[in-house]
Amino acid sequence: MLTTAPDVPLASSESSQIRRLPREGTFRLLFTTPIVLLAGAVALYLWVQTRELDSVEQRILNSTQLGLALRQHLVLVGASTAVVLLIAVPLGIVLSRPSVRRIAPIVNALVVGAQSIPSFGLIVLFALTLGFGAQYAIYALIISALLPVLSNTVAGLEEIDLELKEAASGIGMTRGQVLRRVELPLAVPVVLAGLRTAIVWNVGTATVAAFAGAGGLGTVITVGLIQNRDVVTVVGGMLTAFLAILLDHFARVAQELLKPKGL
């Protein structure tokens, strides 16, 4: 799991003169990706049109079916991401408190082990023990995405300069005030980065959730694989990729817009 997402510079190198990566202009920021994706989608559509689709392919490659798959996918991603945020952020705050930090080494060892649990494995495990369907798949998604957001929140809060916190307490802020007025605003970018990772990760895991009967764009891929129809597989793969890139794009825009001024 990533501890920093692509465009967030590592915070701690203030003393040295590191080269900052350039910030894109607002237009480019908002529109390049969607435009490119749109072009890609159009190209895909045209390509499909050039192929003679047989009945099997036609049954799945139509707007109703694809639209359904897309909606299911979005539900899976949305539900699991929302719950993850609700759990991970408060838990992250708790875990970063100095009193709790003493158990950090043990937690770290557990974290590495937990990070290696394959999301595919969780999906299958839940399907085997609890049953098929979207609901249980969402449980699996929540658990698999919990860790990156959690570790990012904790890392982000810990990274905030100890001096900064001491300065804030020094001018008379209570622990709670230091948390609210200093730490959280500065941790926002890191939490957002974790959220973005979670979204991207969930889109991927939700694809595999198709195997657990949860629906989603993964079903297009599985139909293509099982029925051995390349067109279907490619369409399924491309659409999933487009969705992932688009959602990541939205998350990135949110990151840029919600960044506290001055960072």
Residue from 29, 83, 87, 124 touching other proteins (CB under 8 A): that is 124
Tokens in use for 186? 């500065």
Residue closer to other proteins by CB (options 96, 119) is 119
Work out how close the CB of 240 gets to other proteins at its nearest, in angstroms, rounded to a whole number.
Answer: 4
Work out how close the CB of 115 gets to other proteins at its nearest, in angstroms, rounded to a whole number.
Answer: 6
Determine the straight-line distance between the first and last CA of the chain, rounded to whole angstroms. Answer: 25
Residue appearing with tokens 């825009």: 253
Binding of other proteins at residue 64 (CB under 8 A)?
A: no
**DSSP codes of every residue in 57-89:** HHHHSSHHHHHHHHHHHHHHHHHHHHHHHHHHH
Binding of other proteins at residue 129 (CB under 8 A)?
A: yes
Residue appearing with tokens 């060892």: 109
Binding of other proteins at residue 118 (CB under 8 A)?
A: yes
| Contacts of other proteins in 221-240 (CB under 8 A) | 221, 224-225, 230, 233-234, 236-238, 240
The burial class, CB within 10 Å (0-12 / 13-18 / 19+), for 220 is buried
Binding of other proteins at residue 203 (CB under 8 A)?
A: yes
Binding of other proteins at residue 244 (CB under 8 A)?
A: yes
Residue from 41, 211, 227, 253 touching other proteins (CB under 8 A): that is 211
Binding of other proteins at residue 4 (CB under 8 A)?
A: yes
Report how far residue 239's alpha carbon sits from residue 248's, in angstroms, rounded to the nearest whole number. Answer: 14
Residue (of 201, 162, 204) closest to 183 by Cα position: 162
Helix axes of 63-95 and 184-208: crossing angle, nearest 10 degrees: 140
Residue closer to other proteins by CB (options 6, 98) is 6
Residue from 69, 127, 182, 187 touching other proteins (CB under 8 A): that is 127
Binding of other proteins at residue 18 (CB under 8 A)?
A: yes
Sign of CA dihedral 252, 116, 85, 125: positive
Binding of other proteins at residue 166 (CB under 8 A)?
A: no
DSSP letter for 51, please: S
> How many C-beta atoms surround the C-beta of residue 148 within 10 A?
24
Stretch that binds other proteins, among 42-50, 90-98, 107-115, 186-194 (CB under 8 A): 107-115
> How many C-beta atoms surround the C-beta of residue 89 within 10 A?
19
What is the contact surface with other proteins in residues (CB under 8 A)? 1-7, 9-10, 13, 15-22, 112-113, 115-122, 124-125, 127-129, 200, 203-205, 207-208, 211, 218, 221, 224-225, 230, 233-234, 236-238, 240-241, 244-245, 248
